[in-house]
Chains A and B, each alone.
Chain A
Amino acid sequence: MSVELTQPGLVLSTTALAAGYEGRAIVSDISIEATPGKVVSIVGPNGSGKSTLLKSLVGVVRVLDGSVTVGGNDVTNLPPEEVAKLGVGYVPQIDDVFPPLSVKENLEIGGYLLSRSEIPDRIAAVVDRFPRLKEMMHRKAGKLSGGERKMLAMGRVLMLSPSVLVLDEPTANLAPMIATQLLEEFVRGFADHGSTVLLVEQRAKSALRISNWTYVLGGGRVVLQGPPEDLQENPAFIESFLGGGARH
């Protein structure tokens, strides 16, 4: 491909981070790190605070304690638009597009920080990677299928050539085949091109397959971490995530 969609990665890290809503911490004492060229994943049961953690990294949820840095810059409680400017692209779990806006307009908003003249070329580069979007540039985002919508959500953050991708369950509600393609082709691909990927994923098995390091969240804390090879051998992990001892 002629145009790179992402930029060389930056280190994203947190130190003893606590975050939550209305002053009440949902996650606490979180120290994690995601590095260039790697996919770092976070798994954990429903309600364990995965989304809250990601939101606190990108300025949507308030950090109550500890710190977040991107490429050595302290970004703790920076407004979301500033975090975006530093090269962090965030795809939320839900509400990941602007439904009344067309596909093209969604991408234009994704490129809001670019100059007017850069936007058309950038859109061309992004839809080159997601050819399905090319055929539906004028359709409203709210009318896309689940898979198309996720492609658009990813396309939106790629507009700014992010260095760090923060993805919250990108495969939720996708057919297994599309989910696998999304993870192995795109998500892994971004890391292979040198950017930093922090991924929350429900499908533990698929997550491990593409990850370099995995954190397990439970009750708002990191309860387990390690490279996928180790976790796959860990009885506690197998018990909770890989289906009662049965190895695949």
Chain B
Amino acid sequence: MSSFGFGLITAAVLAIATVGFTMQFAVTNVLNLAYGSVMINSAFVSYYLNVHGMTAWASLVGGVVTGAVVSWALNRFIFTPFQRRSLAPITVVIVALGVDLVGTFGLQAIVGGNYVSFHQSPGREFHFLGMILSGLQLVILAICVVVLGLVHWVLKYTRLGKAMRATSANPNLARNSGVKVQRVISTTWLISGALCGLAGTVLTMNTGVFEATSAQLYIVLLLAAMFLGGPGEPYGAMFGALTIGLATEISAAYINPQYKEVFAFLALLGMLTFRPYGIFGSEKTN
């Protein structure tokens, strides 16, 4: 049962991350393979703020802002220029992969290869429903619920959210309706980047110790969760993350935690084979 508790946290963090990742793919058509490196870079900014005396909450905000700004800049100065040349979509994927490597190993070159950890205690333990969760983990769960609720509210009820969904479904028609699609896309990168920074920071706060390459395989979990829910479906992403998060942690508890990403990858392969449009996705996508 304790692996269920831990799996719940993994799933919560993965849900935050996958929603941002899916949003980027759906609204801006970029499969951002550099997502993991933005997560870990945000985590390190947050970590340095923390060791230089900021509270955990303030450094968390620092991580979120870093994710937002870095993602926005990546889109503005790297992805958009490559997309503009209207080369094959694979080009941007390869560029993103390059960014990921530069982002991860560039960070490693700067911060070194040592493990670090936040200056904060996990808080006292809470027992319920047979699970043991630390105060920190409860906070992470609460953050996840609030953030996903907020994303739902934005997408469903705000002018911006509707414009984001319209842009995702049919960008030309959105423009013909008066939507400034470029601005919607920039805003999407800010929001999804904030989710990315948040996910990176709480991920590393939860695992306790981390180093520059800690999120390198995270992309496998993201892809698996996204495809499970159906690419481009934010609600599917939440469901996919919950499933993948729980499944990998529970299987890791019984088999070998080293194989976590392998399980996720197998799930991804299975989805791509049998239901490439995901469980929530429809067969026809644009």
Contacts and interface: CB of A to CB of B under 8 A. Distances in A.
A80 B175 contact: yes
A60 B181 CA distance: 13
Interface stretch (A84-92, A124-132, A218-226): A84-92
A118 to B, nearest CB: 13
B162 A100 contact: no
Contacts of A79: 175
Given A109-B163, A112-B159, A112-B163, A60 B282 contact: no
A80 B162 CA distance: 18
Contacts of A105: 162, 165-166
B235 to A, nearest CB: 11
Contacts of B165: 98, 100-101, 105
B22 to A, nearest CB: 13
Given A98-B165, A100-B169, A116 B176 contact: no
A110 B175 CA distance: 10
Contacts of B178: 81, 84-85, 112-113, 160
Interface string B151-188: 00000000100110110111011111111110000000
A109 B172 CA distance: 13
B172 A95 contact: yes
Nearest to A91: B176
In the A-B complex, list the 4 residue pairs whose CB atoms are closest, starting with the nearest: A80-B175, A113-B178, A98-B169, A84-B178
Interface of A: 58-60, 79-81, 83-85, 90, 92, 95-101, 105, 108-110, 112-113, 116, 142, 156, 160
Interface residues of B, number: 21
Contact of A97 (B163, B173, B181, B282): B173
B169 A99 contact: yes
A58 B176 contact: yes
B159 A116 contact: yes
A80 B174 CA distance: 9
A95 B159 contact: no
Nearest to A159: B177
Given A98-B166, A98-B169, A101-B169, A90 B159 contact: no
Contacts of A58: 176
28 contacts: A59-B175, A60-B175, A60-B176, A79-B175, A81-B175, A81-B179, A84-B177, A84-B178, A95-B170, A95-B173, A95-B286, A97-B170, A97-B173, A98-B166, A98-B169, A98-B173, A98-B174, A99-B170, A100-B165, A100-B168, A100-B169, A105-B165, A109-B177, A109-B179, A112-B177, A112-B179, A113-B178, A116-B159
A110 B177 contact: yes
Nearest to B172: A60
Interface string B192-235: 00000000000000000000000000000000000000000000
Contacts of B172: 60, 80, 92, 95
B176 A101 contact: no
Nearest to A105: B162
A81 B286 CA distance: 21
B179 to A, nearest CB: 5
Which one of B163, B175, B179 has the highest number of Cβ atoms from chain A below 10 Å of its Cβ? B175
Nearest to A89: B176
A70 to B, nearest CB: 14
